[in-house]
Structure 1
Amino acid sequence: MRLIGVIVLALVALTWADGPLPFETEDVEILNAEAGDNNYRLPEDLDPISYDIEITPYFTEETTPPGKSQFSFDGTVSIVFKVIKPNLNSFVIHENVRLVEGVRLFKTENDAVVPLLSGRQFERDTDHQFLKIYLDTGTTLEVGAEYKLLVIYVGNINETPLSRGVFRGNYKDEKGVTRWYLATHLQPTHSRQAFPSFDEPGFKSTFRITINRPTSFSPTYSNMPLEVSLNQGERTKEIFRETPRMSAYLVTFHVSDGFKVIADNDDKERPYRILARSNAEGQGKYALEIGTPITNWLSDYLKIDYYSMAKYLKNDQIASPYWASGATENWGLVTYRELRLLYEEGETNAVDKLSIGTITAHELAHKWFGNLITCRWWDNVWINEGFASYFEYFAMHAAYPELELDDQFNIMYVQSALSADSATSTRALQHTVNSPTEVTGHFSGISYSKGASFLLMLKHLVSDDTFQQALYNFLDDRKYQHAFPSHLYDAFEKALSESKQEIKTTEGNNLDIKSFMSYWVLEQGYPVLNVNVNREAGTIALEQERFFVSPTVAATQQVWPLPITYTTQSSPNWTDLSPVKVMNTKTDTLQNVPTDGWVIFNVQQKNIYRVNYDTETWLKIAQQLQTDHNVIHHLNRAQIVDDVFALMRSEMLSFQQYVFRLLDNVIKDLGFEVEPNEHVTRTLNRFYLLNFACNMGHQECINNSVNRFKSYKSGVITSVNPNLRRHTFCEGLRAGDYEDWSFIFKRRQESNNQADEVAMLRALGCTKNDQARNEYLKNILTDDVKAQDRLNAFTFFYMGDQSNAKFALPFIKENVKEIEKAVVLPAWFQNIFANIAGYLDEEGLKEYETMLTSIQTEYPTAFTAGNSAIASARANIKWGSDKVEQIISVVDDLSPTTTPAPSSSEEPTTETPAPGSATQYVFRLLDNVIKDLGFEVEPNEHVTRTLNRFYLLNFACNMGHQECINNSVNRFKSYKSGVITSVNPNLRRHTFCEGLRAGDYEDWSFIFKRRQESNNQADEVAMLRALGCTKNDQARNEYLKNILTDDVKAQDRLNAFTFFYMGDQSNAKFALPFIKENVKEIEKAVVLPAWFQNIFANIAGYLDEEGLKEYETMLTSIQTEYPTAFTAGNSAIASARANIKWGSDKVEQIISVVDDLTPTTTPAPSSSEEPTTETPAPGSATVAFPATLMFLWTALAIILK
């Protein structure tokens, strides 16, 4: 057994490492694919050539003539296709429309009518979403001939974007008038909702779109420019130019009352425009600024100019208030959720601003990978999404290298892939899918993160020049066609051959690049490379084995081709990333290697494998980190942290090798204010770190936030920097009263910025005021929270304060039906019940179990999801509980003896954490980092500093760091009272959350109202998150209820539940009764079945053992009616209990190693005050502690240069 005595990883990484913190991942739809037959695929009997589609939409009564239904549309589609297979007397296409009124078939060469079977011209197979056309007896289609199929039909304009297809949304203009719009979201299997079609990515055609819109509406937008507009009285016919040859899911049209161009580069040859609702004027400037250079860089790098892909091709980006995902790559008209495209100076934080850039790069990359070439079928969706995810970071980095996104790629994608691909149930990149549910499920982290990481590994294997040439070969060979992985392999083989480059394997043979690529695409999982240094012989023995996070899984016989890179202490070289060989055997030995010092493999972590060293090598690495950490590359420091944590989870290493320290130094460096003209990465770092620190309970962070909030509310300052708002508003509301909450609530209602509106929704969830909490929950179920934000609103509430999840339980129980309706998608409904569990302690979990049991019959999926989440939550609680004592005892033995002097002598407002508690230890680590970063966003500071502060202050406040909490609460109070008129967006999360967590119902109502008034979607979501922090029972109940209303967008309802669980350690348990009583409403509100299950799965991770038991009881009560919820919930309960046990076993060992290996100078804490929140109970902060360690150390390993 390998055992390392000491490793200092995190301390040095945290204080001095390079790069910004990783971004949050939000608004991600994850569906659990269900097994299905293979009869959902179309036969390859026909080849579609072109479509003519005409749509006449009907909105409200004013635009709907007699005999037509509101929110429906009349459609006709004419499809020209070529016959491939002989003797066809019937054929099939996809359709999932409301009504098929008639079909006709013509032979195109002479327009002759082809007779169809009398009495049975067509048949609808709704189970498989097929439209079957029957030819008359004795009639067959002629092979090689072209035919035209005409279908007349009626379609639905769906209520929410979660149903995909054609959907409706609305917004209030500057006069408060409700304006309607229609949009499309057809990926991956929903073009059949808009028009009968060959709805598979491999079928490519051209499309001509015609829209008959109400004349009173604004001009329509589609893939191509408008060619003809004909005024026909009450209707205007708009005919658009023909698209390039593309897949049906890329078709789009946007019919609206009030959307317009808000930013334009005024370049007729290379047009780039930002489109949005009429009252978003001025919010498109940043998206315009970044879009053109990214497009140009991609055009140059890929050697195919975007604007050369088709005549008249445009490059519009449109912001939709309601959208089910981050964005979708429709050719010529990319559609984004507002907070992923619109930026408002002073209202949008650095995190959301950076996300605008990376998501824009992702969608623009799709123009080449996804649009120009497309995977033949969704089993290889990684071809689309892996490339887009790769260029998401590297295209944005190329255009804006100061953001250091090449470093962030390691955390966001490489380490995410390693985490996601370490389970026994993981999938290979190429994975068989058939049904729409299976297809949607394959749009998963593996396809994105492992696909992108695979490409990074390939680039460094073959060199950037060869990689670039291979991509050009691929695109040029398959443009306007579909592609299989074999086409990509051929392109790399050709480029490698032309480069005359030789890559050797273990046996000394030249690498077969096609075999290399095929193995990585077809095999699930990845290896850990075990390294044993023989210092006497000067050799290094290598052995690979598949890595599983579970220590009980049997070994496999898989052998990956591994690019081997390494460097040594005697000759450190961190820039040569080309492999010395590809290890394609189980074992190998390196000869004549300097072995007197340390050796580090997988240089800069560019390859997909973990590394485990012999004990002596681990010790030498630890010694180097302690004496001069800068000698080791910052990306390898981050790699070491990530690998060690994973190896400990798998029990390949003991937990003694993990570390947790130094938030204070980072905060000291970043400060609490946004500096003028600072680098964007500094702003982003502060944004993340201050939110992190405040949420951890870091007192200085809290104090700073609360003071800023008070200044803002009292009018002392007129605005809070958008990059400070999250923690400022949250802490202000957490520490504030109902009046504080109402202040933010009103501000949200008045906001014209969606990002700010969401941010305030998050902050409103931070209140502890019962009146505010009740109003927050109720408000989620109203139109004040967009349907897309309702799931998030619940999560914001859970996250807002540790008591919020439990507070929400009665509300959820009493409003299941309303929640189900409000979140729309069945999956989101399930997520409402899953997410809350993770925010409940054991007592809350027990209450939740009882609640779930009471709704089991009527809401079986909620019951299943909730019980699964309870299981996960208990596993997490057990993990933490089992490890905490071990961590602390060793710390006391190994930590420096110098006692830090407190910076404050104030009395604690709550109980003091027990001596040696994990929380107390974390606070010691936080103080110096917070001192370094500060609580304010500094003028012109680097974005990494802003991001560090953002993460750190949120972490510290949530951990109960008193200074962070006080700062946030004071800032919140200042903001609510008008002393300051705004909270920096990068401080809002922890400010609002702590303000609401410490506040009353009035404080909660303040943020609730501010969210309602917001005109910024990012701020709206941020405030939804903050509103979930409240401990006030009235506010918690209102928050939970509100999730199920139109006030929270359907797309945000799943997150809203999670925000509530996260908001306070008591919130998950509080939410149990609400969930139990509102299973049906939650199911309806979240719309997607998978999200409904996630509601029940997610909550488990926030419950302690008592809460998990309550949750189990609740799940039992709903088992019959909601079996999927029951299953999801119980599965999550098991996972939660396992995690709790693991964490408790290891915590003591973690801390001891940290203190033993970190510099001997002991930093003084920023405060001796106790947290204003309760000491984290087992299963609350303790639940998150191990995961928090991994996040904190890995992220901060690349913070500061």
Structure 2
Amino acid sequence: MSKLLLVALSLTLLAFAAGDNPISSYKEFQEFDIFDDIPVTREAERVYRLPENVVPLDYDVYLDLYFDENTERPFSYDGRVSIIVQAKETDVRQIVLHSNMDEIKSVTVFDEAGARVQLDQDKEYETEELYHFLKVNLIEPLKVNVNYTLNIEYWSTMNEGPMKRGIWRGWYTDKDGKERIYATTHFQPYNARQAFPCWDEPLFKAVFKLHISKPAAYNGTFSNTLVDFNVLLANNRIRTDFAATPKMSSYLVTFLVSETFTVLAQDTTFNPPIRIIGRSNTVGLADHALELAVKMTKFFDEYFGIPYETLHPNLLNDHISSPDWASAGTENWGMVSYRELYMIINESETIMSIEHYAATLVSHELAHKWFGNLITCYWWSNTWINEGYASYFGYIATNAMFPEYEFPDHFNSRYLQTSLSFDSGVNTVPMNHDVNTPAQVTGHFGTISYSKAASFLRMTANIIGLGTFQKSCKYFLINNRFEPTNQQDLLDAMNLAIEEDKSLAAYPGFSFEEYYRVWVNKPGYPILIVEINHSTGEMKLKQERFFLNSNIADDTIYPIPITYSTRSNRNFTNLTPVHMMTQASETITKASGEEWVIFNHLQQGHYRVDYDRRTWTLISEALHNNPDTIHYLNRAQVVDDVFALMRSGRMELNFGFEILRFLAKETNLHVWDPAISGYTWYRNRLRHLPEKQAEFDKIILGLMEHAITTLGYEPKAGETPTVSMARQSILHFACTLGHKKCNQDSWDRFVNLRDNNVPINARIRRNVYVTAMREGDADDFDYLLKRFRESNYANDQLEMLRGLGATKDPALLTRYLQLTLTKEVRSHDKLNSFNYALLGNQENAKTVKEFVKNHVTEIRKAYVEDSPARPAHSALSNVAGYLDEEGLDDYEAWLRSSQTDIPQYSSVLSAISSARNNIKLGTELSEALLQAARGSATMAVTSFAMIATLALILVVV
């Protein structure tokens, strides 16, 4: 491969990550590009932060919610907030806090004796819209550490749908089929300021008391804490007063007001009771969610040694199943809210990947009660502390209570491999990364803070020992409870536990502080380059930072935990490092003799591995001839690393595909998951070359045949969730690539449903729905659309949307896309549904492009372009990744001629440029890629024939 091609390949990988698989993984925050509203210099960014010279202690928040009964201001609210504050510095003459309201009506300040404090008559208060600042100007300075009361009256409007967060309204259908409106909140990370003026940064912890009035019919009212009183008001209204919260950050405040939301399931043996709450026509459908919440609460009570019921006497343990939600779930203290998709789980209606993820989600959000709520990151630069621990426990804790899900095995594909892929670019950031603007803050809720942080914590636990890690968690929580924390506080807790347990005695000279400093504050990760002298057993280890563009260098030295197994000494499940590598190069030894060697047991260290040619050949032979001698997670590691090595030019395509030929005998999900990702990346480089892509697809299908045949088309009684998900992934990929039997089986199942009402097993509905719509006609489309409208299950509805987006008929696809502009497709599903139209069928891009051109204004409005995730930016940009040269020319001409003023203009132009680079790359790469693929396929077929012959001989003998 030429140097020019290598550079182009590396540069275009990151640009097209979204285009390859634009649908977000299931996680709390969808990852997206950061778009600042106004360019600012690094020096100017700090002005987005509040001064710390005044702090809040206690809030009383009065909210009067109005729905459509208020004809003058429907779906609005009047607010009054009374905040006890203290000055922490001398000569403070201005109180600065956040406010993002339609109108501030009045501001007053009272001293400790109740006397009114005089404000500047020329300008009592002022607002700065860009920073959401409300500045109260005083004549005399505040006295230090003396209580003052700040009163503010205001009004504002509920947001429509969840995407903008703040206070917003959603809709649902009740058990009688009547449409209802509900109001709720989503404040993380900086949207409490939309509900009431406040110090809306995690540092400023305070006590909150909510007082919410609403029409009397809205009797399903919930918040963080117990209800103190219900007060009957005039005009058929009721005010609910809630008990005081613990000392906490503003983003954790929440409430929900509805007419018919009710308790779906509960366990009253706990104090407080553990409750699942949702719309009335899902009563009886939340038992699984309750079991998850109950068992996870038990686990954390014991693990942290700080039982939930002791955190605060007023806290609830409620879990809201919300029909609308911008993320998967949010950890408001006492009242977690989730997208209904993950709460209403039914084996006959839910695909296994959703059921599987739901368990980790509930565990993740409950872990936040301690990591995030009891202690909170000082500022969003340290988001990784909140999210990394919650993500780590999402798998580790859930496995302790639900071992049947085999969660530790799934950690690599969910977190580690995702992090390795994302963290390979030149612009990636460290876990502890300075952010200031709202766009930067929201952007930091992504792969680094979730996936890399969780992987770092797991790697750390293996180094210091699981017992010491647990002890460090307890010290961190106990020593910092109800306080904001930073990375030094966490390091102090870890060091205290390490010192007590002497858990690093096996690594003399190893500095844990340096390990922590590098991994937390430096971007990227290393590749371990291994060169083995098999005759002597000497193994030379060298490390360097891994980049997809191998022409870039970085001299960062990462402390690396070394584990390895050999053919003669297999010990894959021993995760304790045998050595801590702290230099750029070191040498260790094994027993002499030629044999395969695999470094990084179960791929639990956050690094890649490359070997000398002979060692790779020995690994390849073992994978092909005796794959079970290498643990399946390390087989998955080999696949993940080989694709990365090929993309970066460190390994030739021919050699890489030769190693991967062992997939022809592989059925394990963990091995196939990175394989499907890797093959998808390459086949997408061939989109504009349909004949060559078809040949590549045929080769991949040949490698998949054994897995397809072994797993079969029908789930089997008693199979593990991992097997169910393997079938789901492999069949969906196989049908997409045109596997005849897969498509025929899927079509037959759909026809049997349509004509004979024979249910389709939920675990295989994805490939059935997609194939049926791809092959069906208008009647089939209308049939599935009718089922979508009648379904009571958010998961099945989402899978039907995925299917409907795969139709080949331009008229039907246009109808589908128009559906995304209506309320029938919920706000949080619009972008994914748009992307389904691109993913479902290769030829759909032209129709999608024309739809965008004809409906760009409606898309921008319906998709809520100014919400934090900028879904309209993503939708319009993703189209480019699926167009050919002619389509790109047309798309660009339309953009430049009539859309120069839309917010998406620059990002779409950038996507078009990347698409052209991608097409050029694919053209240059195609012959070498197909040659390599053909060679691996030939070797795999030959080997299969040899194995079959040998088996026949053995039977005859």
TM-score by length of 2: 0.91
CA drift of 1:376 comes to 0.7
SS of 1:395 mapped into structure 2: helix
CA distance, structure 1, for counterparts of residue 853 and residue 282 of structure 2: 39
**Aligned AA (1:416):** T
In the alignment, which residue of structure 1 is the partner of 2:397?
Answer: 395
CA distance, structure 2, for counterparts of residue 1032 and residue 578 of structure 1: 56
Distance 1:445 1:883, change over 3 A: farther
SS of 1:1095 mapped into structure 2: helix
CA drift of 1:342 comes to 1.4
Distance 1:313 1:1062, change over 3 A: same
Which has the larger displacement, 1106-1115 or 45-54?
Answer: 1106-1115
CA drift of 1:1139 comes to 5.8
Distance 1:1142 1:332, change over 3 A: farther
CA distance, structure 2, for counterparts of residue 580 and residue 593 of structure 1: 15
In the alignment, which residue of structure 2 is the partner of 1:229?
Answer: 230
Which has the larger displacement, 1134-1143 or 596-605?
Answer: 1134-1143
**Contact kept in structure 1, 2:278 and 2:321, CA below 8 Å:** yes
CA drift of 1:1163 comes to 11
In the alignment, which residue of structure 2 is the partner of 1:975?
Answer: 753
**Contact kept in structure 2, 1:664 and 1:931, CA below 8 Å:** no
CA distance, structure 2, for counterparts of residue 1158 and residue 608 of structure 1: 35
1:516-915 to 2 correspondences below 5 Å: 516-551=515-550, 553-591=551-589, 593-656=591-654, 657-658=656-657, 877-878=684-685
CA distance, structure 1, for counterparts of residue 825 and residue 131 of structure 2: 32
SS of 1:472 mapped into structure 2: helix
SS of 2:144 mapped into structure 1: coil
2:821 to 1034, 1039, 1044: 1044
Name the Cα RMSD after superposition.
2.7
CA distance, structure 2, for counterparts of residue 1021 and residue 400 of structure 1: 26
Distance 1:541 1:685, change over 3 A: closer
**Contact kept in structure 2, 1:346 and 1:984, CA below 8 Å:** yes
CA drift of 1:141 comes to 0.1
CA drift of 1:880 comes to 6.7
CA distance, structure 2, for counterparts of residue 585 and residue 81 of structure 1: 51
Distance 1:1054 1:661, change over 3 A: farther
In the alignment, which residue of structure 2 is the partner of 1:208?
Answer: 209
In the alignment, which residue of structure 2 is the partner of 1:726?
Answer: none
For residues 428-465 of structure 1, the C-alpha deviation after alignment (integer angstroms, 9 at most, x for no partner) is: 11111111111111111111100100001100111101
SS of 2:170 mapped into structure 1: strand
CA drift of 1:218 comes to 1.9
**Contact kept in structure 2, 1:539 and 1:590, CA below 8 Å:** yes
Distance 1:1135 1:70, change over 3 A: farther
CA distance, structure 1, for counterparts of residue 476 and residue 209 of structure 2: 28
Distance 1:946 1:661, change over 3 A: farther
CA distance, structure 2, for counterparts of residue 1164 and residue 971 of structure 1: 34
Distance 1:271 1:649, change over 3 A: same
Distance 1:1155 1:112, change over 3 A: farther
CA distance, structure 1, for counterparts of residue 941 and residue 307 of structure 2: 52
2:73 to 66, 69, 75: 69
1:399-548 to 2 correspondences below 5 Å: 399-502=401-504, 509-548=508-547
In the alignment, which residue of structure 1 is the partner of 2:46?
Answer: 38
CA distance, structure 2, for counterparts of residue 1014 and residue 664 of structure 1: 39
For residues 73-126 of structure 1, the C-alpha deviation after alignment (integer angstroms, 9 at most, x for no partner) is: 011111112210110111100000111111111123x22221112242111111
For residues 537-573 of structure 1, the C-alpha deviation after alignment (integer angstroms, 9 at most, x for no partner) is: 431111111111123x321111111111122222221
Greater RCO, CA 8 A, separation 6+: 1
SS of 1:100 mapped into structure 2: strand
2:80 aligned with 1:81, yes or no?
no
Distance 1:536 1:273, change over 3 A: same
SS of 1:545 mapped into structure 2: strand
1:1091 to 871, 874, 882: 871
In the alignment, which residue of structure 1 is the partner of 2:931?
Answer: 1148
CA distance, structure 2, for counterparts of residue 1158 and residue 45 of structure 1: 73
Distance 1:472 1:377, change over 3 A: same
**Contact kept in structure 2, 1:664 and 1:930, CA below 8 Å:** no
CA drift of 1:612 comes to 0.2
For residues 254-273 of structure 1, the C-alpha deviation after alignment (integer angstroms, 9 at most, x for no partner) is: 00111000101122524110
SS of 2:393 mapped into structure 1: helix
CA drift of 1:163 comes to 0.8
**Contact kept in structure 2, 1:45 and 1:84, CA below 8 Å:** yes
Distance 1:1135 1:474, change over 3 A: farther
In the alignment, which residue of structure 1 is the partner of 2:137?
Answer: 134
In the alignment, which residue of structure 2 is the partner of 1:963?
Answer: 741
**Contact kept in structure 2, 1:626 and 1:1158, CA below 8 Å:** no
CA distance, structure 2, for counterparts of residue 371 and residue 1162 of structure 1: 60
**Contact kept in structure 1, 2:623 and 2:662, CA below 8 Å:** no
In the alignment, which residue of structure 2 is the partner of 1:1161?
Answer: 944
CA distance, structure 1, for counterparts of residue 505 and residue 520 of structure 2: 20
2:882 aligned with 1:1102, yes or no?
yes
**Contact kept in structure 2, 1:661 and 1:1154, CA below 8 Å:** yes
SS of 1:1003 mapped into structure 2: helix
CA drift of 1:418 comes to 0.3
1:929 to 682, 691, 707: 707
CA distance, structure 2, for counterparts of residue 377 and residue 1118 of structure 1: 42
CA drift of 1:1053 comes to 1.2
In the alignment, which residue of structure 2 is the partner of 1:990?
Answer: 767
CA distance, structure 2, for counterparts of residue 322 and residue 504 of structure 1: 51
2:906 to 1107, 1120, 1124: 1124
CA distance, structure 2, for counterparts of residue 685 and residue 426 of structure 1: 26
CA distance, structure 2, for counterparts of residue 183 and residue 328 of structure 1: 12
For residues 667-699 of structure 1, the C-alpha deviation after alignment (integer angstroms, 9 at most, x for no partner) is: 8x9xxxxxxxxxxx9xx999x99xx99xx9xxx
For residues 44-79 of structure 1, the C-alpha deviation after alignment (integer angstroms, 9 at most, x for no partner) is: 101211111111100113xx2x7x510100111111
What percentage of aligned pairs have identical amino acids?
Answer: 37
TM-score by length of 1: 0.73
CA drift of 1:970 comes to 1.4
CA drift of 1:183 comes to 0.6
SS of 1:1161 mapped into structure 2: helix
In the alignment, which residue of structure 1 is the partner of 2:13?
Answer: none
CA distance, structure 1, for counterparts of residue 476 and residue 913 of structure 2: 43
In the alignment, which residue of structure 2 is the partner of 1:90?
Answer: 94
CA drift of 1:171 comes to 1.0
**Aligned AA (2:434):** T
For residues 116-175 of structure 1, the C-alpha deviation after alignment (integer angstroms, 9 at most, x for no partner) is: 122421111111100000113xx1100111111111111221011101100001112232
**Contact kept in structure 1, 2:892 and 2:909, CA below 8 Å:** no
For residues 1031-1053 of structure 1, the C-alpha deviation after alignment (integer angstroms, 9 at most, x for no partner) is: 12221110111111212111111
CA distance, structure 2, for counterparts of residue 1150 and residue 193 of structure 1: 55
In the alignment, which residue of structure 2 is the partner of 1:1187?
Answer: none
In the alignment, which residue of structure 2 is the partner of 1:151?
Answer: 152
In the alignment, which residue of structure 1 is the partner of 2:919?
Answer: 1137
CA distance, structure 1, for counterparts of residue 299 and residue 181 of structure 2: 37
CA drift of 1:26 comes to 4.3
Matched residue pairs, number?
909
Distance 1:131 1:1085, change over 3 A: same
**Aligned AA (2:878):** N
CA distance, structure 2, for counterparts of residue 115 and residue 931 of structure 1: 81
In the alignment, which residue of structure 2 is the partner of 1:1001?
Answer: 778
**Contact kept in structure 2, 1:533 and 1:595, CA below 8 Å:** no
CA drift of 1:1119 comes to 5.1
CA drift of 1:474 comes to 0.9
2:732 to 948, 954, 966: 954
Distance 1:350 1:662, change over 3 A: farther
SS of 1:220 mapped into structure 2: strand
CA distance, structure 2, for counterparts of residue 192 and residue 626 of structure 1: 59
In the alignment, which residue of structure 1 is the partner of 2:9?
Answer: none
In the alignment, which residue of structure 1 is the partner of 2:243?
Answer: 241
CA drift of 1:1140 comes to 2.8
CA drift of 1:919 comes to 2.3
**Aligned AA (2:193):** R
In the alignment, which residue of structure 1 is the partner of 2:117?
Answer: 114
Which has the larger displacement, 1107-1116 or 1001-1010?
Answer: 1107-1116
**Aligned AA (1:390):** Y
CA distance, structure 2, for counterparts of residue 38 and residue 457 of structure 1: 33
**Aligned AA (2:110):** F
**Aligned AA (1:46):** V
SS of 2:163 mapped into structure 1: helix
**Aligned AA (2:533):** N
